[in-house]
Every structure is written in C-alpha cells, then in structure tokens.
Amino acid sequence: MRTDVLGVAFDNVTMDEAVDRALAMLEEDRPHLVVTPNPEIVQRAGKDPEFAGILSKADLVLPDGVGVVYAAKILGRPLRARVPGIDFASALLERVAGTGKRLFLLGAAPGVAEQAAVNLRAAHPGLVVCGARDGYFKEDGPVVDAVREAGADLVFVCLGAPKQEKWIAAHGEAAGARLYVGLG
C-alpha cells in the first residue's frame, strides 16, 4: 500500500522490506525502477507532470528524507520508516555481493564512477561491477549499448533528478537490466 505525500505515492516499507522487494525484482525478467524522492523531488514532481508520471509508475518509491516522513505524519498517513537512497543502495549491495548479479554505475564526473566501482568492490567482497560510465554524455545510444553489452542486472543511475528517472523511463528496457535505481 502506498502513502500519498503531496502527489507522490510512497511505499510504506522498512529498509529490510525495501531490499527484499528489490531482490525479488532482480529475479523477474523485466526492467524495474526504484526511486528515492526527498522533499525537493516531491516539490519538483508537482511542477513537472512527466516526472510525476514516472514516479507514479515506479515499482518502488522510497521516502528519502525526514521531511517526507514528517509530512506523511502531519497528513495523518505516517510512514513506517525513512529509507534513504544511499543506505538502501548499500544494504542492497551487501545482499547482492557474491550472488553473481552484475552492477553498472552510471553518472557523476569523469573518473568518479570508476573510483566508486573500486570502492564498492572493496566494501562488498564478491560484488561484480560490470561497468562504470560518467554522466557527461551527449548521446544516449552508446550508453544504452554499454549497459546492455556489460550484461548488467542492476544499474545505479546518478544523473540527478529528474534527469535520471527520465533517462531510465526512456532507455531502461533497451539497456536490458532488471533493476534501475535513481540515486543522483
């Protein structure tokens, strides 16, 4: 069941439940989208119907920000927990490491995604990072090809909202991964 906060419907889940749902999505043969709206993103969605539509269709909408949790409580529809995107990503990688699932990192400045891959491998032994690409690209096609050719199961897209969610909505199916998480 989802909880509406100013037009964005959040999944009322704990961290463990969110990770369990994401792991189940990784087993399904279709692309899934996880979004992590904070109050700024909720506000932006109110002004951008395309973005709001993408958030409403996301498979998992996590409350990333104490402001979202407080707003839900004030509205009389309390959320059970705050589920920050970065903490969710770390918990998910902890469970994915050693399973053979393949992670692709997309976003940030040149060299940052590559260094993040090194850091994540060190933090999560057994994690397979199959590719990393910065977010400074002009054409989507080569990026879609890179994700598909890397055989990614999971893609962390860090392009900033709403760009990352719009990129996933437009290219997620063609890129071939099963789970996309907007973490920008």
Output the tens digit of pLDDT for each of the chain's 184 residues.
Answer: 799 999 999 999 999 999 999 999 999 999 999 999 999 999 999 999 999 999 999 999 999 989 999 999 999 999 999 999 999 999 999 999 999 999 999 999 999 999 999 999 999 999 999 999 999 999 999 999 999 999 999 999 999 999 999 999 999 999 999 999 999 8
Predicted pLDDT of residue 180 = 98
Give dist(CA 99, CA 114) in Å, integer. Answer: 21
Coil/strand/helix, residue 6: coil
For the packed helices 49-57 and 163-175, what is the interaxial angle rounded to 10 degrees?
A: 50
Predicted pLDDT of residue 37 = 97
Based on its alpha-carbon atoms, the radius of gyration of the chain, rounded to whole angstroms, reads 16
Q: What is the pLDDT of residues 24-61, one digit of tens each?
A: 999 999 999 999 999 999 999 999 999 999 999 999 99
Give dist(CA 61, CA 9) in Å, integer. Answer: 7
The dihedral sign for the CA sequence 148, 152, 157, 162: positive
- Model-level pTM? 0.97
In angstroms, the Cα distances linking 119 to 65, 98, 111, 131, 157 are: 25, 16, 12, 14, 17
Give dist(CA 90, CA 48) in Å, integer. Answer: 29
178 contacts: CB under 8 Å, gap ≥ 6: 25, 26, 27, 28, 29, 30, 31, 32, 153, 154
Predicted pLDDT of residue 15 = 98
Predicted pLDDT of residue 51 = 98
